[in-house]
């Protein structure tokens, strides 16, 4: 799959086959995902793959603020990625006297996580694995459920798996004229 086709064809997938994704395939996807760029190449994104049914049920119960769409997606999920990042690193270049203590405080770490997120989703799509990013989450509850290290914070959940049913039609997009300007 070429890159442009992959970017255009990726869709949020919310229905999956009742099958845990092969770990070898997940390793292949991670071997691509790890090439995501990051602030100063600090590579702060961390990937916790949850296959355990009890943990996924806890994520559905406590991790998504009772948001009905996310609860429903998680109820049928066999695989969930907790995407987290190591705190307090991105946004700093101490050797150059640059620290993340201005209006962009802590922005670059979530920026890094966002790039890692999309890189994972595109790599997964290229390998036949569907994904949906979840931003309606209770990050503190999720940290406890999967026992994240103290120095990490949750960026998003990504439910992933073998897609079930038809590939969803593209949702609408603004025209380029609406979102881009040349000066």
The footprint of ligand FMN (CB under 6 A) covers 11-12, 69-70, 132-136, 171
Cβ distance to ligand FMN smaller for residue 53 or 167 = 167
Q: Report, in Å, the least distance between residue 93 CB and ligand FMN.
A: 27
Q: Where are the beta strands (DSSP E) in 68-119?
A: 80-86
Q: Report, in Å, the least distance between residue 12 CB and ligand FMN.
A: 4
Cβ distance to ligand FMN smaller for residue 11 or 127 = 11
Distance from chain centroid for Cα 67: 18
β-pair partners for 85: 45, 153
Distance CA 118, CA 139 (A): 19
What value does the CA radius of gyration of the chain take, rounded to a whole number of Å?
A: 17
Assigned token pair, 81: 């990625």
Q: Report, in Å, the least distance between residue 14 CB and ligand FMN.
A: 6
Nearest residue (beta carbon) to ligand FMN: 135
Q: Report, in Å, the least distance between residue 115 CB and ligand FMN.
A: 12
Cβ distance to ligand FMN smaller for residue 43 or 118 = 118
- Residues 145 and 72 sit within 8 Å (Cβ to Cβ): no
Cβ distance to ligand FMN smaller for residue 37 or 168 = 168
Q: What one-character DSSP code corresponds to residue 40?
A: G
């Amino acid at each position: 799959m070429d890159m442009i086709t992959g970017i255009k064809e990726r869709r949020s997938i919310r229905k999956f086959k009742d099958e845990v994704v092969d770990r070898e395939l997940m390793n292949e996807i991670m071997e691509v995902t790890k090439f995501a760029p990051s602030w100063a190449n600090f590579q702060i994104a961390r990937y916790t793959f949850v296959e355990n049914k009890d943990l996924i049920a806890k994520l559905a119960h406590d991790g998504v603020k009772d948001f009905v769409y996310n609860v429903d997606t998680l109820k049928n999920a066999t695989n969930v990625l907790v995407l987290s990042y190591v705190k307090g690193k991105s946004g700093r270049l101490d050797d150059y006297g640059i620290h993340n203590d201005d209006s962009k405080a802590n922005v670059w770490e979530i920026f890094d996580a966002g790039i890692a997120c999309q890189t994972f989703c595109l790599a997964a799509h290229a390998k036949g694995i569907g994904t949906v990013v979840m931003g309606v989450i209770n990050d503190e509850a999720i940290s406890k459920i999967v026992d994240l290290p103290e120095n990490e914070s949750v960026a998003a959940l990504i439910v992933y798996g073998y897609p079930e049913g038809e590939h969803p039609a593209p949702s609408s997009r603004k025209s380029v004229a609406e979102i881009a300007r040349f000066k």
